[in-house]
Amino acid sequence: MSSPYQLPIQTNHPTVEHRPVKRHHSARYYAHRVRESLTTRVSKFICSVILFILFFIGLIAFIMWLSLRPHRPRILVQDFSIPAISQQNGFENAQINFNVTARNPNRSIGIYYDEIHVAISYDDQNIGGNSLLFPFYQQPENSTFLASSLSGTTLTVNDQIWKEFLADQSQGRVIFKLEVTSNIRFKIMSWESKHHTLHANCPVGVGPDGIILLEYKDKRCPVYFS
């Protein structure tokens, strides 16, 4: 007759209990870790300071570059006329009068000009030119007026070109191109730049009376360097 109670089954393998292994480090180990942590923090701090200084220097240099960056001179034609074009026998008295303004727009940068040369062309044909000034220095935010006339040997207009003038005059306007050329240097405090060759191409038109048309008066000319 079986008993209502059953004995627990015993196995030959004892239960293995896993306990965490405690590791003990020496004081020397912990001191090394502390020194390593301090070194890392100090290195990061020094790198942060150096990066901040470099950023600050770069920002100052950028601001100075913006404030001292040279701007090109501004060339404007204020007056231009060829009075003889309205006369019957004007060819014999042909003369071109012009007044050009050279403006230095820089606040703290001066400009040295070498000799300035002005040439006038019509329909891509050079019809005259002249040198205006000896070398001069232009103060910041200053203007220099360049006025002259072309006639005689400085104005090479033949009978055929004059007839073309009159043909355009009958249409209401005669278009010329006035070109200003000079070698310039920029002066920033005591520093001077190398030479740059300035070119200003100024289209200008006159009416039947030989006087500059209002749409061309005081018009800023395109300027480039070569």
Round the average pLDDT of the chain to a whole number and report it.
Answer: 84
What domain range includes position 53? 25-69
pLDDT computed for residue 26 by the predictor: 64
Instruction: Tell me what pLDDT residue 51 has.
Output: 86
Pair (95, 156) in one structural domain = yes
Asked whether residue 50 is assigned to any structural domain, the reply reads: yes
87 contacts 225 by C-beta, under 8 angstroms: no
Give the per-residue pLDDT at 6. Answer: 55
What is the rounded average pLDDT of the residues 107-134? 92
Number of H helices, E strands in the chain: 2, 12
pLDDT grade for 155, boundaries at 50, 70 and 90? very high
- Domain for residue 1, yes or no? no
pLDDT tens track for 12-50: 555 555 555 555 556 665 555 656 676 777 777 788 888
In a domain, 123, yes or no: yes
51/123 same-domain check: no
Same domain? For 97 and 183 the reply is: yes
Closest-CA residue to 133 (of 184, 176, 96, 82): 184
- Over residues 82-99, the pLDDT tens digits come to 999 988 777 778 899 999
Count of structural domains, the chain: 2
Decide: 184 and 195 in contact? Cβ < 8 Å: yes
At residue 38, what is the residue type?
L
Domain end (from 43, 69, 95) = 69
Is 140's pLDDT higher than 60? yes
Q: Is residue 10 situated within a structural domain?
A: no
pLDDT digits (tens, 9 = 90+) for 169-200: 999 999 999 999 999 999 988 888 889 999 99
Does residue 2 form part of some domain?
A: no
How much is the average pLDDT of 140-157?
92
**132 CB-side CA count, 13 A:** 24
Asked whether residue 212 carries a pLDDT value surpassing 70, the answer given is: yes
In a domain, 8, yes or no: no
Are 200 and 138 contained in the same domain? yes
pTM: 0.69
133 falls within a domain: yes
Same domain, 65 and 81: no
CATH code (residue 185): 2.60.40
> Do 64 and 175 fall within a single domain?
no
For the chain, percent of residues with pLDDT exceeding 90: 53
Residue 159, in any domain of the structure? yes
Beta bridge partners of 181: 117, 199
